[in-house]
Amino acid sequence: MSDEPAVPHIPDEVLNLARAARHVAVFSGAGISAESGVPTFREVQTGLWEQYSAQDLATPEAFENDPDVVHTWYRWRASLIQGVQPNPGHLALAHWQQRLRSSGGTLSIATQNVDDLHERAGAEVLAHLHGSIMAHHCHECGAPAELTTPQYDGAQPPSEPEEPPLCQVCEQGMVRPSVVWFGEPLPMEDFERTAEAMRAADLILVVGTSGLVQPAASLPLLGMERGTPLIEINPESTELSDAMHHRLRGPAGEMLPALMQALGVD
């Protein structure tokens, strides 16, 4: 008997839809990043931050009240993210995107994730609906800011908080991560680009999202207006499952490579 794991089965209906699709829209969530080992909010609330909740560290008010703690928490999270790698699910989407583009098609990726794993896998991302932890801007004037990725000692959190730098444009505001905090609106351009991609697609994949975080989670359902097939890839049932035409129950890192293999995408 072979020790190699069995390749997940892709139903013929799903395979036929994927084979025929020329314009694919992908909506990805935390599940695909978790498969790479990206730590969750709870997993990084240690050391300096063990007495805080996610809401205590992810609001504009938290940054204004204790900028050093919030700044350092996000810098440490960014460092941890840089220590993990894209998984086979990220790579499969990048390869599919390249294959479709080479034949005049499109594969648009809109993600709820603030990491850069899709990009590091070689994919172009249409929209980061909740922002990017790798990007920064001034909390006052909004000007973009460049910060190098910090390198901490493994998983050990820093012992002391670090002061955020001041904006080099207005010289008054503090530099903050370009993520969407609780109480802040989603970036309108990203939201509109995603909505347009969902409406224009002839196939929509919903990958690794719980469907709980609104309003972003409702975006894939825009394809229903045109009768676009929706496929969910998730190990578990979600808030969106009942609206899906097909459900592939398994990790993205297994199901997406199996789909690409069945399609003959290298």
Residues involved in catalysis: 130
User: How far is 129 from 180, CA to CA, in rounded Å?
Assistant: 8
Q: For residue 210, say whether it is annotated as part of any ligand binding site.
A: yes
| Contact present, 139 and 57 (Cβ < 8 Å) | no
Kind and range of the H or E run holding 204: strand 203-207
Q: For residue 266, say whether it is annotated as part of any ligand binding site.
A: no
- Residue 235, preceding peptide bond in cis (omega within 30° of 0): no
Q: For residue 114, say whether it is annotated as part of any ligand binding site.
A: yes
Q: For residue 113, say whether it is annotated as part of any ligand binding site.
A: yes
Distances from the Cα of 184 to the Cα of 34, 68, 109, 187, 215, angstroms: 24, 20, 22, 9, 12
| Contact present, 127 and 193 (Cβ < 8 Å) | yes
Q: For residue 168, say whether it is annotated as part of any ligand binding site.
A: no
Q: Among all chains, which residue has been given the structure tokens 């703690």?
A: 69
Q: Where do runs of H (alpha helix) occur along 30-149?
A: 30-34, 54-57, 60-65, 67-82, 88-102, 117-120
**Bridge partners, residue 99, by sequence:** none
Distances from the Cα of 176 to the Cα of 131, 153, 180, 231, angstroms: 12, 22, 11, 36
- The half-sphere exposure of 188 on its side-chain side, counting CA atoms within 13 A, is 0
Q: For residue 185, say whether it is annotated as part of any ligand binding site.
A: no
Q: For residue 258, say whether it is annotated as part of any ligand binding site.
A: no
Q: For residue 167, say whether it is annotated as part of any ligand binding site.
A: yes
Q: For residue 52, say whether it is annotated as part of any ligand binding site.
A: no
Q: For residue 144, say whether it is annotated as part of any ligand binding site.
A: no
Q: For residue 215, say whether it is annotated as part of any ligand binding site.
A: no
How far does CA 175 lie from the centroid of its chain? 22
Q: For residue 159, say whether it is annotated as part of any ligand binding site.
A: no
Q: For residue 234, say whether it is annotated as part of any ligand binding site.
A: yes
Q: For residue 141, say whether it is annotated as part of any ligand binding site.
A: yes
Binding residues for Zn(2+), by number, are 138, 141, 167, 170
- Known binding-site residues equal 74, 77, 112-115, 138, 141, 167, 170, 208-210, 234-236, 252
